[in-house]
Amino acid sequence: MSRHYAVVAGNPAREVRRRFEPAVIERLLALDIYGWEAARFEAWKPASDLDALCAAAARYDAV
C-alpha cells in the first residue's frame, strides 16, 4: 500500500510520520500535480500556499 507524503527511515524502511495532515494530503492528491503538463507545473511552482495553488489550478483548468 502506498503511503503518500510519508517520511520513512530505517532498513527495512518504516513510516516515521506524515508530512501533512490527512485533509491536506487529500487536497494535494486531488490536484494530481504529477499528471500536469510541464507548462502548467512551471506556472505555479513553488507554491507553499495550498489555497492559492488550488485556486490557480482551477483558473488554469477554466482557460
Q: One digit per residue, pLDDT tens: the chain, 63 residues?
A: 568 999 999 999 999 999 999 999 999 999 888 888 888 888 777 678 888 888 888 887 777
Residue 9: the pLDDT is 96
pTM comes to 0.71
The candidate with the shortest Cα–Cα distance to 3, out of 15, 13, 20, 11, is 15
What phi, psi does 48 have (nearest 5°)?
-90, -10
Chain position carrying cell 506556472: 43
- CA 13, 14, 20: angle at the middle one, nearest 5? 120
- What are the extents of the domains in the chain? 32-61
The candidate with the shortest Cα–Cα distance to 43, out of 57, 25, 28, 58, is 57
**DSSP 8-state assignment for residue 16:** E
